[in-house]
Amino acid sequence: MTKFTMLDMSTGHISKKTNQRLLNREIESVIYYDKPKYGYFIHIPEDLDELEDVPDDLMECLKFAKKHKCDWINLDCDGEIYNELAAYNW
């Protein structure tokens, strides 16, 4: 049996521009799955330093999840808001 951990996080921690890039599939170095109208499931890669096309706001979310030993982020419009991360109102 394979187990993984997932961090629940608000889409408010990414900018509208980053959201659009995710919707347009313009971020190729990260594995993620759309949750239409709600957000994304985003895989946390082993080595964040290898990511080249990830916007700073999304990178901060990935680092935060990795710091908390998570394998995935559930980036959701109703997700948890963390004071340690920037928040965007869009």
- Tell me if 20 is assigned to some domain: yes
- Tell me if 85 is assigned to some domain: no
- Tell me if 51 is assigned to some domain: yes
- Block mean pLDDT (10 aa), the chain, length 90: 95 98 95 95 94 96 98 97 96
- Tell me if 16 is assigned to some domain: yes
Q: How far apart are CA 2 and CA 42, in angstroms?
A: 17
This prediction has a pTM of: 0.94
Task: Indicate the residue type of 80.
Answer: E
- Tell me if 67 is assigned to some domain: yes
Cross-strand partners of 7: 73
Residue 40 has a CB neighbour count (10 Å cut-off) of 22
Q: How far apart are CA 61 and CA 56, in angstroms?
A: 9
- Tell me if 32 is assigned to some domain: yes
- Tell me if 65 is assigned to some domain: yes
- Tell me if 87 is assigned to some domain: no
Q: How far apart are CA 66 and CA 20, in angstroms?
A: 23
The domain in which residue 72 lies consists of 6-76
On whether the CB atoms of residues 40 and 32 are closer than 8 A, the answer is: yes
39 in the Ramachandran plot: left (φ > 0), alpha (ψ -120 to 50) or beta? left
Counted domains in the chain: 1
